[in-house]
Structure 1
Amino acid sequence: MTALGVGFATGFSLILAIGAQNAFVLRQGLMRSHVFSLCLFCAVSDALLIAAGVAGFGAITTLWPGFPGIMALAGSGFLLVYGAMRFRAAWAGGDALTLQGRAPSLKVTIATAAAFTWLNPHVYLDTLGLIGAISTQFLGSERMAFGAGAVIASFVFFFSLGYGARWLAPMLRTDRAWRVLDAGIGVVMWGLAAKLIGGLLV
């Protein structure tokens, strides 16, 4: 497999797991709300982090040992709050109406995506750490190709998730379906928060 292919496979496998950011993109895609801007923001953010990792900044966790802990604390707090919001929405219901236009503004959407992206310590470990470490097995143009492959994977994934979500829209026309979705997202958020907090206590 070429360096580009290895980079694509590595990037795609790391981002494939359903996490807080992916769940948010999925929900916005279902609402068809600011999908392009959101997917572009997430993909570009990933690209910047991947470029930093490939460029050799994976040593940041070595130079600043407390960095992962700070990000984990901030990220877990945000996940707990957002998870609570989704549980509240599931309890209250009425989110089926978002398909007819009641949706967050672009500013709120991007701000939320920024929090999910930049307050997630796993993003730094995956991009600055793991992808940066794997890239060291390549030299020169091959290393750049590896990084390009990982960046392409992010763009393919986010835009596929955001725009592919609309195929699920017919199944989510009812209030009950949205309650189930919001409750499921809340469970994911709190589960991730618990994992981050657990890591801090080890």
Structure 2
Amino acid sequence: MMSYAAGLGTGLSLIVAIGAQNAFVLKQGLIRHHVFWVCLFCALSDAALILLGVNGIARIGSAAPWLLAGLKWAGAAFLIWYGARSFRAAWQGGGALRPEGGAVSLPRTLAVIAALTWLNPHVWLDTVVLVGAISAQWPRPGVFGLGAVTGSFLFFFALGYGARLLAPVFARPRAWQVLEVLIGMVMWIIALTLIVD
């Protein structure tokens, strides 16, 4: 149960960072176009990448334990950098969300989200490398991975369908600043747990 909860928390904290993929999901939710398919595509993509990371890292860890230590420190460094980036974005001020554009066909919408997902190095770092490395620190990496997958499904569908409720909030730059500060704090807390462990 602890492994699952840790995976869920890690998955949610990593995925909540507003990047190109999440901004697109949020925009689709705000304009209410193809929300279900966009959310499902993102969640299934994350699930595939997380499972790849959890299974791949476990096999590598048994063959080369020194590599896990290197991944742990690399993951901590990345999280520290990512947190600093969020704090910097908060300091510089958040940009208000301005959804524009009209309806686009489902195939074109899925092509865009596929590119934002599979061609984004941060998605690979977060899911395959970081979640995979963190999962290796837990006694049941597969259960940790399942928690992270659950976090992805919960987040994407909540973001897509909850966007209309968030529209008034994220129309204000201050909301983006608060979100970036929270993201930075979470990233640094996860980094600290990796370093101390």
Superposition TM-score, scaled by structure 1 size:
0.61
What residue in structure 2 maps to residue 110 of structure 1? 110
Question: Match for residue 79 of structure 1?
Answer: none
Deviation at 1:118, TM superposition (A): 0.6
Distance (whole Å) between structure 2 residues aligned to residue 57 and residue 106 of structure 1: 35
Q: CA deviation at 1:138?
A: 2.7
- Calculate percent identity across the aligned residue pairs: 58
RMSD over aligned Cα atoms: 2.8
The secondary structure found in structure 1 opposite 2:13 is helix
Give ranges in structure 2 of 5+ residues lacking alignment: 61-66, 68-97, 177-197
1: distance between equivalents of 2:57 and 2:103?
38
Partner of 1:9: 9
Cα pair 2:8 2:144 within 8 Å, conserved: yes
Does residue 135 of the first structure (1) align with residue 100 of the second (2)? no
After superposition, the Cα gap between the structure-2 partners of 1:169 and 1:130, relative to the gap in structure 1 and judged at 3 Å, is closer
Q: TM-score, normalised by structure 2?
A: 0.62
Q: Mind listing any 5+ residue stretches in structure 1 that lack a counterpart?
A: 63-89, 185-202
Take 2:151 and 2:167, find their aligned partners in 1: how far apart are those partners? 25
Letter in 2 for 1:42: C
Kindly tell me the number of residue pairs found equivalent between the two proteins. 137
Matched, 1:167 2:171: no
Deviations 1:115-137 (A, max 9, x none): 00011101111111111111112
Report the counterpart of residue 153 of structure 2 in structure 1. Answer: 155
Q: Distance in 2 between matches of 1:126 and 1:120?
A: 10
- 1:21 maps to 21
* Contact 2:43/2:153 (8 A) holds in 1: yes
Residue aligning to 1:145: 143
Could you tell me which residue of structure 1 aligns to residue 37 of structure 2? Answer: 37
**Partner Cα distance (2:148, 2:167) in 1:** 29
C-alpha separation between the residues in 2 aligned to 1:6 and 1:152? 11
Contact 2:57 2:133 in 1 (8 A): no
Pair 1:171–1:150, CA change in 2 (3 A)? closer
Superposition misfits of 4+ residues, deviation over 3 angstroms: 168-172
